[in-house]
Structure 1
Amino acid sequence: MLLLTVFLVACDQPAEESTELNDAQRNALELRVEERWRARIAHDWEKAWEYTSPAYREVFPKHLYVKKFSYTANWELTGLEVTNYDPSAAVASVVVRVMSSPTKQTSAAAKAIGTMPRELHERWILVDGEWWFSANY
């Protein structure tokens, strides 16, 4: 009888959430990150704004978002890695690797520095089955 009681109690417990993304979720997230970075590389800030979270877009309209960027750097996306996923918060951490270079080699420092590798840490949130860049990091 005790074994039956333990079994019934165990069955009544909610299933533990996976802390890993499944392949479809990971692929969808990676695609969204790549698409957003393609827009950034093209300096298409209006398109990049479309990847920000719905809550962010409610507060910051596209015309204001576009004004906060300049054209002083060029990027080349060299890789990305999903490093963490918190299912209870529906948040994923992504490391984006880019090669960054100044658009104009106007100073000796810009010429000396040239192209540099960078790692950028981004937070993406899952809202209604879609991944969105969290600009409020």
Structure 2
Amino acid sequence: MIFKSCSKTAVLLLTMVLLGLSVGCSENDGKVAKNEKSVADVTQLSKEEIVKQRAQEHMDALIAMDWEKAYNFFSPATRSLKPFEVFANHMKGGAILRKSADVEKVECEEQLCKVTIHLHYIYMGSMAQMRGQEMDSRIHEKWLFSDGSWWVSPK
């Protein structure tokens, strides 16, 4: 017998370790199955749900003044025509300071979605009597499907 020279305690300890490893592996198998299910759930989202999520992420990036992240919601074709530096400079000099945004409505056709967003902002523009005032507005965006994804259309 292999364990003849080992003490009973060592054999018992080794057995418990091996048993623990086998239980750990079976628990991980369940986690992998759960992860596969969540990936499947994500891929089954409707185009309206996908666009709503992307539009909210785009607005969140604008609110955070994360210009690079916001820029990446434009299609590769748009980005090739409008360099990041041009976009970032335009955004830095904007007349509004975005405070919050909520995607209210998404209506899609084949490869076009129209998005309505409720935007809360502070006016920072050149009209002195309005500067610093908090305002609300509804903005409308178009999102286009191209290159396997949904992209905000520049205005």
Taking structure 2 as the reference length, what is the TM-score of the superposition? 0.61
Task: Name the structure where helix makes up a greater proportion of residues.
Answer: 2
SS at match of 2:139: strand
Measured on the aligned residues, the alpha-carbon RMSD in Å equals 2.3
Instruction: Kindly state the Cα deviation for residue 65 of structure 1 after the two structures are TM-superposed.
Output: 1.5
Structure 1 position 101 matched with structure 2 position 122: yes
Superposed CA offset, 1:34-56 (max 9, x none): 11111111122222110011210
Greater relative contact order structure (CA < 8 Å, 6+ sep): 1
The 1:117–1:62 alpha-carbon spacing in structure 2 relative to 1, beyond 3 Å, is: same
Aligned length: 110
Superposed CA offset, 1:4-38 (max 9, x none): xxxxxxxxxxxxxxxxxx84322211111111111
Rg larger for: 2
Superposed CA offset, 1:73-129 (max 9, x none): 222334213343221xx010001111111359x944325xx1111111100011233
Which residue number in structure 2 is paired with residue 132 of structure 1? 151
Matched residues, percent identical? 24
Please give the residue correspondences for 1:10-29 in structure 2 after superposition, counting only pairs within 5 Å.
23-29=45-51
The 1:39–1:78 alpha-carbon spacing in structure 2 relative to 1, beyond 3 Å, is: closer
Q: Separation in 2 of the partners of 1:41 and 1:62?
A: 17
> Which runs of 4 or more aligned residues in structure 1 lie more than 4 Å from their structure 2 counterparts after TM superposition?
none
Q: Which moved more, 1:32-41 or 1:72-81?
A: 72-81
Give unmatched runs, 5+ long, in structure 1. 1-21
Q: 2:112 aligns with which of 88, 91, 113?
A: 91
Q: 2:52 aligns with which of 22, 26, 30?
A: 30
The 1:34–1:42 alpha-carbon spacing in structure 2 relative to 1, beyond 3 Å, is: same
Superposed CA offset, 1:50-74 (max 9, x none): 0011210111121222121225422
Q: Residue 85 of structure 1 contacts residue 93 of structure 1 at CA under 8 Å; is this kept in 2?
A: yes
- What amino acid is the match of 2:130? A
Which residue number in structure 2 is paired with residue 44 of structure 1? 66
Q: Separation in 2 of the partners of 1:78 and 1:60?
A: 25
The 1:57–1:78 alpha-carbon spacing in structure 2 relative to 1, beyond 3 Å, is: closer
Give unmatched runs, 5+ long, in structure 2. 1-43
Which residue number in structure 2 is paired with residue 76 of structure 1? 99
Q: Residue 82 of structure 1 contacts residue 92 of structure 1 at CA under 8 Å; is this kept in 2?
A: no
Q: Separation in 2 of the partners of 1:97 and 1:74?
A: 14
